[in-house]
Structure 1
Amino acid sequence: MSSPVNDQVDGAVGRAADALFAVQRAEGSWPNRRPTAVLGTAGAAIALHLADRDRSAGLTARAVHWLGEAQNPDGGWGGVAGAPSQVIPTVIAASALRIIAPETTHDRVRRALDLVHADGGPTALNDAGMAHMASAFLTLAGLPAAGGARRIPLELLLLPARLWRARLSFRMAPFVAMAFMQSRGRPVRGPRRLARRAGLRLLSRMERQENDPGGYGGDNWLVAVVCIGLVSAGAPQEMIARTVDYLRANVHPDGSWHIMQGLDVIGGAYVARGLADAGYTGDARLAAARRWLRGCQQSEAFPLYASPPGGWGWEGPRGWPNILDSASVLAALVVAGGEEPGEVTRLGLRWLVSRQDRSGSWGTFVPDTTLRNDGPCPYVTAACLETLIDSGAAGDPAVRRGLDWLLGRQRPDGTYEALWYRGPVPGTAMALAAFGRAGMAGHPGARRARDALLRAQLPDGGWGPGDTGVPGDDPTGTVEETAWAVRALLVSGMPADDPRIRRGVAFIVAAQRPDGLWPAAPVCMHIRDAAYYVDGLIVDGLSLRALGAYRAARHAAAVAGSEVS
């Protein structure tokens, strides 16, 4: 017998699939609907003002207006317009206003600085690199910056890459750029001159492997930082011009920029797996999406990360190979089983195993890195484990080592962290799902993770960010965190008719918009604990996976009931 909740779930899945297929591009990808960002806008405006002042004056004026409209009542800025204020976006936005339009923005800058210093200032940040960056931008703007930052040892690049690769990881480009900013206006002699040349060579090598000239990581904020660094170093004009052209090409009519310019691959992978779990595996339109994802596999090595061919990045077939993105793409491919050509998948799975840390975990960019923001990460590790298990590699030693690492990384309260998503829910949910897929749902570690998720369910039926240490976190649930939790609980063996599952499912269904898609929340981490962003494709993919898991559990229960009867 059908129930109202079951009918609502079926209807929600159908509406979401119709909406997603309606906007799917001809080649199989999906456009990623995301709001523009404070860091992208403020950083790009500063870079263009310093590197292309006359030609880009109209763009920077519109950026100043947009930033003024996006300022929160408390004087600060969040990752996107309307998000709770955070130190890094507030510092960079205030610096942009001071640098570009000091006469007309004095009051806005003063209010921003009052908020920053009331929170302890940049030195209160728990990331020394971000504290240094905040101080550097305040100094660039002629604003008070507490404390003197240590000199960035650019000479490190004079050593063989194997000695600094794991230490710098994905911060290679900003490391060079910030060192250039720090030496702005100072004479460069001796080893520092050699280090400057090495820094320019590293940036050139990185740029040659990007999808677009001047586009470091497809990240407007990072491109802006690199541009400012190049100007500070007196770099060749052609290098500066490419970053300027990249930023000018990506501005929106209202004067704002995204942080990450292109996230179609990672978002499309989440959607493709969500649609598959919701029952559309054999649909020709989903087959086109998988074909497009296969075409984004990187055919070249990425020497700066010592990465072989076979991985994926978030932009396309070039750029920074990313372990989490690769695991997500492979998850969308392996679920198709024999319908999926094997060569791409096999190469991708070998690549994934090759990026495992010696400890058994997975990070994001460089194995065995010492950089806190890269890895090892419970969320990424659990995602890699699920993908490998889905591919039929449950008995692979890499899976066993990964599971052992996860069990040893659990917090006393049963939760896990995620480096690239906020709060305790994503990491805990992914670890629980990995345990469930590995047949370990009854393990004490899995039970502790399940209990932690159940304790975190909110009165509205959803799950939210929990205590992330960021002032202003909304205590209400989000679709993303609820979907992560619901799917994990189902994969761990909780029955679909459990009232807590039904309340979570009802939360997801009720949040669906009239257009069939779901509202995105700022759960994605751009700079850990310092700047979040939203992703419209990820929320849809997570929702479909959760609803698909609910329908699969419901069907399994019905089959079991009929067999008993």
Structure 2
Amino acid sequence: RRRYGSDHTFSVPILMMCALAGLMPWNEVPRLPFESACIPQSWYRLARMPVVSYALPALIAIGQVIHHHRPTGNPVTRLLRWLGRKRSLRVLERIQPSSGGYLEAAPLTSFVVMSLAAMRQSRRETPNESPADRVIARGVEFLVNSVRADGSWPIDTNLSIWVTTLSVNALAAAGDLDSLDRRDELLAWLLDQQTKDVHPYTGAAAGAWGWSHLPGSVPDCDDTPGAVLAAVRLERWIAQSWNWGMARNWILGLQNRDAGFPTFCRGWGKLPFDRSGTDLTAHAIRALWALGSSPHGHFDELYGETVQRAFGYLARQQRPDGSWLPLWFGNQHAPDDINPVYGTARVLAAYRDLNRADTDEARRGVAFLLGVQNPDGGWGGAKGTPSSVEETALAVEILLDLAPPEARAPVERGVEYLVRRVEDGSFTDPAPIGFYFAKLWYFEKLYPIIFTVAALGRAVRRLA
């Protein structure tokens, strides 16, 4: 409870597992209002859910197993939950992807399966063709299919769209996109991943991208801007039309009242991972600018107002030391697991792309990055943390564009750090900079390679 606070997304599943194992009584496990899943999907953001928007399966399944073992004494609430049990299970079945894996993730899918299975066992029921049994069967199939050879499971199974667009955009940053073979096939594949219908899970409109081509992926405001930027850059070489208007409208429609952009759903905002994020907002700005500047679009008044408000949000979120904090990335060596180097580098890219490098916010952000460089020439997630390839490459890439002439020496030391890592082969060693759910970390083996390509390619162009 001290670690997760009011966010029940992960604290309740952990406590639920302890209760199932007999390690603690059920009255220590907070109740979850699973009956809330029965209201119209468009009302979810008004219901003040105790879990984040993407944790709806956990709300339903875990909420039900808690209610089964610890029914509420309030007769009205008890009636509502009795009435909502079967209907919410139908919702759970409806939003389960064809692969069986919610979010294509073993943790969330496991929580759902063990909750439903525990209720079935407690009631001494035999498997039948109920929604709960079908969810269990498909969930188990997903878990069996996703286990690794050593018997472990990854936190996430597939980031195909995310790492593809990162790779394309890295080659573009390096000025080497024309060396990419089969660009037409790549663009066709990427555009085919654009959602065509309202998403059954979050209710997201059509026209966006998730992190994976697999069915459990959910459209979001990091992968969609990344896909837009990649598509625009690929289309400079390839004459192929695509539904840029849907992508534009999807991004525009996600802007929150605070003028920032959240990950999945507009207007939830109660819990940290549903709030606006500075890195997401900067990514959205860059994508909107790229769309408006492309042959298919024009930068109209709506674009201008949206972008201006978004920059206002970024200015308000800048910390006193000049940094910005990202939403989905962190560093375990930094206080409170923050990663201001990642966040600042990503936000500064929006100031660079829209020619705002001379603003006070941009200058302060650049000064922050220069001020937290390590003696070895690299960067960690924050001042005094160990250098990593990922964080060094991100800092170097943006500083090559925005650092003042008098700061050329520290930028060159950053380039030299990356060159050393390439020459000794350690540039492929990934660091766990990614957040997954609340406090689970992951690394992606392609991150250091992709970010290094972008940074050193940029260095060749800038320092030659």
Give the structure-1-normalised TM-score.
Answer: 0.70
Alpha-carbon deviations, 1:381-437, whole Å to 9, x = none?
111112222331666222222112111111122111111011111111111121122
Partner of 2:85: 196
CA contact (8 A) 2:45 2:267 kept: no
Partner of 2:272: 372
- Compared with structure 1, are the counterparts of its residues 215 and 181 closer, same or farther at alpha carbon in structure 2 (3 Å cutoff)? same
What does residue range 50-199 of structure 1 map to in structure 2 within 5 Å? 122-126=1-5, 128-129=7-8, 130-144=10-24, 148-165=28-45, 167=49, 168-185=52-69, 190-199=79-88
Residue 553 of structure 1: how far off its partner (Å): 2.2
Identify which of 88, 97, 102 aligns with 1:216.
102
Residue 273 of structure 1: how far off its partner (Å): 1.2
Residue 536 of structure 1 pairs with residue 435 of structure 2: no
Residue 156 of structure 1: how far off its partner (Å): 2.1
Identify which of 135, 149, 157 aligns with 1:253.
149
Residue 280 of structure 1: how far off its partner (Å): 2.8
Residue 526 of structure 1 pairs with residue 436 of structure 2: yes
C-alpha separation between the residues in 2 aligned to 1:176 and 1:495? 56
C-alpha separation between the residues in 2 aligned to 1:452 and 1:214? 45
Amino acid at match of 1:356: Q
- Compared with structure 1, are the counterparts of its residues 123 and 134 closer, same or farther at alpha carbon in structure 2 (3 Å cutoff)? farther
C-alpha separation between the residues in 2 aligned to 1:198 and 1:493? 57
Identify which of 106, 110, 113 aligns with 1:227.
113
Amino acid at match of 2:395: A
Residue 274 of structure 1 pairs with residue 182 of structure 2: no
Identify which of 536, 545, 549 aligns with 2:454.
545
Partner of 1:296: 193
C-alpha separation between the residues in 1 aligned to 2:25 and 2:414? 46
CA contact (8 A) 1:165 1:305 kept: no
Alpha-carbon deviations, 1:285-304, whole Å to 9, x = none?
25133332222211221144
- Compared with structure 1, are the counterparts of its residues 295 and 495 closer, same or farther at alpha carbon in structure 2 (3 Å cutoff)? farther
Amino acid at match of 2:4: L
Residue 545 of structure 1: how far off its partner (Å): 1.7
Q: Report % sequence identity.
A: 28
CA contact (8 A) 2:197 2:205 kept: yes
- Compared with structure 1, are the counterparts of its residues 180 and 322 closer, same or farther at alpha carbon in structure 2 (3 Å cutoff)? same
User: Tell me, what secondary structure is at the counterpart of 1:488?
Assistant: helix
User: Tell me, what secondary structure is at the counterpart of 1:245?
Assistant: helix
- Compared with structure 1, are the counterparts of its residues 482 and 547 closer, same or farther at alpha carbon in structure 2 (3 Å cutoff)? same
Residue 322 of structure 1: how far off its partner (Å): 1.4
Identify which of 449, 456, 460 aligns with 2:365.
449
Residue 500 of structure 1: how far off its partner (Å): 1.0
- Compared with structure 1, are the counterparts of its residues 237 and 228 closer, same or farther at alpha carbon in structure 2 (3 Å cutoff)? same
User: Tell me, what secondary structure is at the counterpart of 1:123?
Assistant: coil
- Point out where structure 1 has 5 or more consecutive residues left out of the alignment: 1-121, 468-473, 556-565
- Point out where structure 2 has 5 or more consecutive residues left out of the alignment: 73-77, 121-130, 331-338
Farther off after superposition, 361-370 or 122-131 = 122-131
CA RMSD of aligned residues (A): 2.6
C-alpha separation between the residues in 2 aligned to 1:149 and 1:345? 46
C-alpha separation between the residues in 1 aligned to 2:324 and 2:5? 19
Amino acid at match of 1:554: L
CA contact (8 A) 2:27 2:70 kept: no
Give the structure-2-normalised TM-score.
Answer: 0.84
CA contact (8 A) 2:279 2:326 kept: yes
Residue 246 of structure 1: how far off its partner (Å): 0.8
- Compared with structure 1, are the counterparts of its residues 262 and 124 closer, same or farther at alpha carbon in structure 2 (3 Å cutoff)? closer
Identify which of 407, 411, 426 aligns with 1:501.
411
- Higher relative contact order structure (alpha carbons within 8 Å, sequence separation ≥ 6): 1
- Compared with structure 1, are the counterparts of its residues 289 and 514 closer, same or farther at alpha carbon in structure 2 (3 Å cutoff)? farther
CA contact (8 A) 2:37 2:60 kept: no
Residue 139 of structure 1: how far off its partner (Å): 2.1
CA contact (8 A) 1:458 1:477 kept: yes
Residue 492 of structure 1 pairs with residue 408 of structure 2: no
Q: How many residues are treated as equivalent by the alignment?
A: 424
CA contact (8 A) 1:368 1:376 kept: no
C-alpha separation between the residues in 1 aligned to 2:214 and 2:436? 21
C-alpha separation between the residues in 1 aligned to 2:453 and 2:30? 48
